[in-house]
Amino acid sequence: MHTAKRKVLTQHVETCNGKQYLCLLLCGGQGPIDSISNIRIGNNAIGNYSDVQIETRLGTNEQTPISFFNNNPIDQYVSLELDTSSPLIQTTTSKSATS
C-alpha cells in the first residue's frame, strides 16, 4: 500500500443553515495517478463519518475543477527573463481563463 504525502493547497469554512463546513483541498502527489482509495481521517475510514462529500481528481490536464474550489487560479511556474522590448504572452487550454 502506498501512502502519499498530503499537502493542504487551500481551505475555507462555509456556513449554511447555521452549520459550518470545512472545505479542504489536498494534494496527494503529482499526477496522473491510477486511483484514489482508502481515504481516512487520522486512522478512521472516511465511511465512518456522515455528511461528508468527497471529490477526487487523478491529475490529468483536462480534468474539471473541484466544485468546492472552482475559483482558484491554476499556478503555472515558469522560468523566464523579461525583456521590456517584447511582450510576455502566455497561453492556456483552460476554458475558464480570464485576462
Show me where the domains of the chain are located.
1-99
Its pTM stands at 0.54
Task: Give the pLDDT confidence of 30-89 residue by residue, as tens digits.
Answer: 778 888 889 888 899 999 998 888 889 898 888 888 887 766 555 555 667 777 888 877
pLDDT band of residue 1 (cuts 50, 70, 90) is: very low
Q: In this structure, is the dihedral angle defined by the CA atoms of residues 4, 56, 19 and 9, taken in order, positive or negative?
A: positive
Helix-then-strand count for the chain, H and E: 0, 4
Q: In this structure, is the dihedral angle defined by the CA atoms of residues 25, 29, 33 and 39, taken in order, positive or negative?
A: negative
